[in-house]
Amino acid sequence: MNKIGFSTLLVIVVLLVVVVIGYFVFVQKPAEQTNINPLLVGDNAIYVSNTKPATMVNVGFAILAGGGYVVIHEDGEGKPGAIVGNSIFLPQGENRDFEVTLSRESVDGEVLYAMLHSDNGDGVFNPAEDSPIQNDQGNIILMRFQISSDATEPGAISL
């Protein structure tokens, strides 16, 4: 191979190395952030990471346009089923890093749903009167998450 061919090959290899390193340093998110996909819908949002089996669920954040609750539902054939826990009354605005007590211990491998519910004005959760919050198209604002003994603590979450 002549000097020009070798020099060209060397430049190409160096450029490839720089591109690969640049990708991992500047483009790809760190591993602890790759599963953070908060649901933000208008003035309402919710985020719950996958969590270890327990009688509590940690909610990363809930943003409510008006006061309300985060309600945890079991999986009912791919959609929210029975209620297994609810937060205390949450004021309007941003509520971060709080726990919701469950009525039972969650089980490794199960799917749960965290759903935003409005308050009827009395500050006490009542599933018959405190309905799920919906977006402008009528879709209920919720987030699906999984119970896993391999779950890790999420890092700081920002919108």
Give CA 84 to chain center in angstroms. 18
In the chain, the number of structural domains is 2
Give residue 14's domain range.
3-33
pTM for this predicted structure? 0.72
CATH number reported for the structural domain that contains residue 110 in this entry: 2.60.40
At residue 137, the pLDDT reads 87
Kindly report the backbone phi and psi dihedral angles of residue 25, in degrees, each rounded to the nearest multiple of 5, phi listed first.
-85, -40
CA dist., res. 120 & res. 77, Å (int): 29
At residue 21, the pLDDT reads 61
Burial class (CB in 10 A: 0-12, 13-18, 19+), 39: middle
Residue 158, domain member (yes or no): no
C-alpha distances out from residue 70 to 20, 26, 62, 63, 73, Å: 42, 35, 7, 10, 10
Closest CA to 66 of 89, 88, 83: 89
At residue 33, the pLDDT reads 38
CA dist., res. 113 & res. 83, Å (int): 9
At residue 5, the pLDDT reads 66
Residue 88, domain member (yes or no): yes
At residue 24, the pLDDT reads 52
Shared domain for 63 and 141, answered yes or no, is: yes
Shared domain for 67 and 119, answered yes or no, is: yes
Burial class (CB in 10 A: 0-12, 13-18, 19+), 156: exposed
Run means of pLDDT, 10 residues per run, the chain, 159 residues: 67 57 49 43 87 96 95 96 98 96 97 98 96 92 96 63
Closest CA to 51 of 94, 88, 89, 85: 85
CA dist., res. 38 & res. 60, Å (int): 9
Shared domain for 135 and 71, answered yes or no, is: yes
Mapped onto helix, strand or coil, the DSSP state of residue 17 is helix
Mapped onto helix, strand or coil, the DSSP state of residue 81 is strand
Shared domain for 49 and 78, answered yes or no, is: yes
Shared domain for 68 and 124, answered yes or no, is: yes
